[in-house]
Amino acid sequence: MRVGIGYDAHPLVSGRRLILGGIEIPFDKGLSGWSDADVLTHAIIDALLGAAALGDIGGHFPPGEPHYRDISSLVMLEKVRGELEEHGWQVANIDATIVAVQPMLQDFINQMRRRLSDTLGIAPSQVSVKASTSNGLGFIGRGEGIAALAVAVIEGVSVWEG
């Protein structure tokens, strides 16, 4: 077994859709980024890549590459799942936290869990998604952005020793 940690943060801006865990959240702002800027999925991707010692999201999906412009982060997550499988790993579980002042996310958590678990080919019970605030501190507390943290556990026999 191996464990990886992921983190991502993006600023909130007008004129973008808010996507978290592959789910569109009704809100008057969205996250700015090269892809769909889904901080939750990005944090999970980095946690999975870190657990398998396969680098990071920027190395696999470089910002500025035209074919990644506005790409769904779920497509990126699916590619990472394939890379893990090629190297003899499977996802055991994900535990993630979204840090945001608004919008309220409670009504969307189970949809996120289902979408992420479907993409990873695991049961929803293997994916935990929580939401928290920053108690008014920093850029999140000022409503300027959203962040996410994730821990991933993978299991299997690594066939790659790079």
Backbone angles phi, psi at 104, to 5 degrees: -70, 130
pLDDT of residue 63: 85
Domains of the chain: 2-156 (3.30.1330.50)
pTM listed for this prediction: 0.94
Average pLDDT, the chain: 94
Give the residue-averaged pLDDT of 120-142.
Answer: 96
Tell whether the model's pLDDT for residue 158 goes beyond 60: no
Q: What is the pLDDT of residues 45-86, one digit of tens each?
A: 999 999 999 999 999 998 888 888 889 999 999 999 999 999
